[in-house]
Structure 1
Amino acid sequence: MTSAAAGPDRAGARVRTPSAHSQHAPHSQHSQHAPRTPHAPGWRPGAEPGPDLRAEIDAAAAVLSAAGVASPRADAEQLAAHATGEPRWRLALAGAMTPAERELLHGLVARRAARVPLQHLVGTVGFRYLTLTVGPGVFVPRPETETVVGWAIDTVRAAGWDRPVCVDLCTGSGAIALALADELPGARVYAVDSDPDALLWAKRNVVLTGRAITVHHADVGIDLSGGAASRHGGTPGAAGVMAATEVLADLLGRVDLVVSNPPYLCDDERGTLEPEVGDHDPPAALWGGPDGLAGVRAVAAVAADLLRDGGRLVIEHADRHGSAAPALLRTHGRWDDVHDHQDLTGRDRFVTATCRPRGGPGPARGAAGTAGEER
């Protein structure tokens, strides 16, 4: 998310934040001030003499608006909060800035005007009840994924699973896994990603949040050529990354919940993304092959091996896949209770299913959650 109240999805659409906590990227003692850079073109300093904070925020918002930033005022306020160390709600009460704070703010605004993601500049992002650290090399968690996680958590609670085994495939920053561990006491949570750079951020967030999850470097087996994913989660790649089902061999047939936010943009969307997304999010976290469904196929294949009979699967997808993602699962042969759900803006956002009994008669009926719009 790039503002206090909204953020881009993977393709750059603007959506409303699901939770009050996630409406802020709080200034954190763990975040680092960005390097100071020259002033943005067109910068107009605040009232002289002395840098008045409110005037500086007004000027910053004007610069960001001219640069095409979608939420210029909110971003200017968050950058000012970061530069001064003040909570955003106190900015209206503030008077003058120090010269050092003003210089730092000017540098931050210049970088934001160059379309560096806000979260990279402040170093953190709110996700449900957590503050996570993010930066270059990892996908920035989006507000709509909070809705996905909320549905999964509601489902586990409704089912009465006291010590659920949960797996987050394509974990990135660890946002989904850490939220599950935070809100489901007693859960055993595993996080998997094939990108070592992303896993560095996930491990930092484990330390930052103090939540206990197990992080694995493994390949889910996403085939970007458009073919079907390997049934066993891919083969070792050029870097020798083991397949997810090999790394998680002890969990085969024992997992209660698999949640994933895989890459899901279609190849025909290349060149259409906002700079914050296309220039800064890792390509491996964005692209889902010709039809955008390569990640969904791979996750479904791995989940079919990991989940116990009656276990639940939750996969985020692009809003254009509200029909295609459920159809893919229905033809897979391992899934019952397949439903698609909408996010808080009414966009098709994630598909859920129940793992059918292995060799057993009839469909498996798991406890359904209540969050989201189902159809």
Structure 2
Amino acid sequence: MRPSRAVSGAARRLADAGVDAARAEAEQLAAYVLGVPRGRLALADGFDPDQLRRFDELVARRADREPLQHLTGTAGFRHLELAVGPGVFVPRPETELLAGWGVARGLEVVDRPLVVDLCSGSGAIALAVAQELPGARVVAVERSPEALRWLRRNATDRAAAGDRPVEVVVADVTDPELLADLAGRVDVLLCNPPYVPRSVVVPPEVAGHDPDEAVFGGADGLAVIGPVVRRAAELLRPGGVLGIEHDDTHGTAVPELLAADGRFTAVAEHHDLAGRPRFATASRRPDGDRADAGTAWQTGSS
């Protein structure tokens, strides 16, 4: 069967199942089964019977809302292809903006920058930074045993490919003594924590497959963000910077947390490509002191 015919049928099935971008996902599955880049799918040979059977099986699983990335075993993130699967949060495209912001800030550090990625999961942010800032020391922090297996696998794969190795630390990011040996030394701290409020109804791909502890951040979605903000103030050197992703309902709440802490300046909110509030940034006060709570913050742009 020609790929175009198989893809058309699959796209209809996925659309009927409520999958967004059904045509694109059908093409990705077809390219995966045929072992060709998606851009060359139209030039590929037709499916043989075994390939067609495999394609139909994958389409059926996707129609049942199993994540596309679990079916192919990989997720693209900036310039990387990361191994993902059950037990680890699948990195999202919007998080690439936070990683890019972190890379840009790291480039501003004259000496070897020290970058910390909290709630590292698959290692997406840490490994992207390590690849794009080859002179940096990058520390990835994760506590979940299941996620750690994927993080270590990806870190090993990227080191074998020639990227600077990242340091993996097993720890809870809400621990008030987290990374005590790095206190006051970190140049860039990045975090994509669990931040969805518990009452929010999430898509089937998330509800059925992403780890609960990597998605939900308590009743208001801020249960992890609050401790991260406080610990970041201890870990960052004077002038060091923090970037933290958050729910699109937190466009005011997270900057207000940063401003209220009193140890940050230049608090700003950034939007994703769809115009939604996506991550907040701030700088550790150069004098290292705590200002009066309520420091003004501004809306920025990613």
TM-score bracket, shorter-length normalisation: over 0.9
1:313 aligns with 2:242: yes
Q: Check conservation: 2:238, 2:288, Cα contact below 8 A.
A: no
d(CA) in 1 for partners of 2:92, 2:109: 28
Three-state SS of the structure 2 residue aligned to 1:338 is: strand
The equivalent residue for 2:44 is: 94
Alpha-carbon spacing, 1:94–1:345, altered in 2? closer, same or farther (3 Å): same
Kindly provide the amino acid, as one letter, of the partner of residue 75 in structure 1. E
Q: Check conservation: 1:131, 1:209, Cα contact below 8 A.
A: no
The equivalent residue for 1:213 is: 166
Name the one with the larger helix percent: 2
**Which consecutive aligned stretches of 4+ in structure 1 deviate over 4 angstroms post-superposition?**
357-363
The equivalent residue for 2:215 is: 286
Deviations 1:177-224, CA, capped at 9 Å, x for gaps:
001101112100000011111011011111222231000110112xxx
TM-score w.r.t. structure 2 length?
Answer: 0.92
| Structure 1 unmatched ranges of 5 or more | 1-50, 222-232, 235-242, 364-371
The equivalent residue for 2:144 is: 195
d(CA) in 1 for partners of 2:231, 2:192: 14
Q: Identify which of structures 1 and 2 has the higher relative contact order when contacts are C-alpha pairs closer than 8 Å and 6+ apart.
A: 1
| Structure 2 unmatched ranges of 5 or more | 293-299
The equivalent residue for 2:99 is: 149
Three-state SS of the structure 2 residue aligned to 1:294 is: coil
Offset of 1:357 from its aligned partner?
A: 4.5
The equivalent residue for 2:297 is: none
1:174 aligns with 2:123: yes
Kindly provide the amino acid, as one letter, of the partner of residue 373 in structure 1. S
Q: Check conservation: 1:194, 1:218, Cα contact below 8 A.
A: yes
Offset of 1:338 from its aligned partner?
A: 0.8
Three-state SS of the structure 2 residue aligned to 1:70 is: coil
Deviations 1:310-363, CA, capped at 9 Å, x for gaps:
110100011111111100111112111111111111111111111124655879
d(CA) in 1 for partners of 2:219, 2:286: 32
1:100-139 matched pairs, under 5 angstroms = 100-139=50-89
Q: Check conservation: 2:262, 2:291, Cα contact below 8 A.
A: no
The RMSD of aligned alpha carbons is 1.7
Kindly provide the amino acid, as one letter, of the partner of residue 269 in structure 2. D
d(CA) in 2 for partners of 1:120, 1:295: 26
d(CA) in 2 for partners of 1:359, 1:283: 36
The equivalent residue for 1:10 is: none
TM-score w.r.t. structure 1 length?
Answer: 0.75
Between stretches 78-87 and 159-168, larger displacement belongs to 159-168
d(CA) in 1 for partners of 2:228, 2:95: 16
Alpha-carbon spacing, 1:373–1:359, altered in 2? closer, same or farther (3 Å): closer
The equivalent residue for 1:85 is: 35
Kindly provide the amino acid, as one letter, of the partner of residue 253 in structure 1. G
Q: How many residue pairs get matched?
A: 291
Offset of 1:268 from its aligned partner?
A: 1.7
Three-state SS of the structure 2 residue aligned to 1:135 is: coil
d(CA) in 1 for partners of 2:43, 2:208: 36
1:373 aligns with 2:278: no
State percent identity of aligned pairs: 52
